[in-house]
Amino acid sequence: MFSKDKAMEQSKVEQSKIRKRGRGRKRELFDRLKKQEQRANCSVWKGSKGVYVFENTGVLEARKPIRKVYLNRAYLTGLFKSKQANEYLGDLRELDNRIYLIFKLVGNEALEIYKK
């Protein structure tokens, strides 16, 4: 009985990592971040994968990234505005495919990153 309860609890945890959106689209949690420091030209966030730095680009033109995101000192992605007020978009490029990332603000001090 104990192992069945443990399996049910683990299943609930995994289900909480996947967020279902309208029309059956699912988002898988990539990382959760907590703000560590605000600097003049960037902000520093800490997540389970490491330290993220969001550097301001100073560009407010359409189709240009508003921030550059670094993970553990390596460039991760550019951050673009979306139609949602509290969401920003980015992508990870690999050899033959692309993974889209959704950066969702959760309050002033927290951020969640989902894979799409």
Domain map (residue ranges) of the chain? 2-115
- Give 53's pLDDT tier (boundaries 50, 70, 90): very high
- pLDDT, one tens digit per residue, over 74-87 is 999 999 999 888 99
- Looking at per-residue confidence, does 89 or 7 come out higher? 89
* pLDDT value for 70: 96
Residue 110 three-state SS: strand
Residue 51 has pLDDT above 80, yes or no: yes
The per-residue pLDDT for 10 is 57
pTM for the full predicted model = 0.75
| Residue 94 or residue 110, greater confidence | 110
Q: Phi and psi of 112, rounded to 5°?
A: -115, 140
Q: What are the tens digits of pLDDT across the range 20-31?
A: 555 556 789 999
Kindly give, in sequence order, each residue whose CB lies less than 8 Å from that of residue 37, ignoring residues fewer than 6 positions away.
43, 44
In the predicted model, is pLDDT for residue 71 greater than 60? yes
Listing DSSP states for 23-59 in one string gives GG-EEEEEEEEEEEEE-SSEEEEEETTEEEEEEE---
Instruction: Give the CA angle between residues 64, 67, 72 to the nearest 5°.
Output: 135
User: Is residue 18 pLDDT above 90, yes or no?
Assistant: no
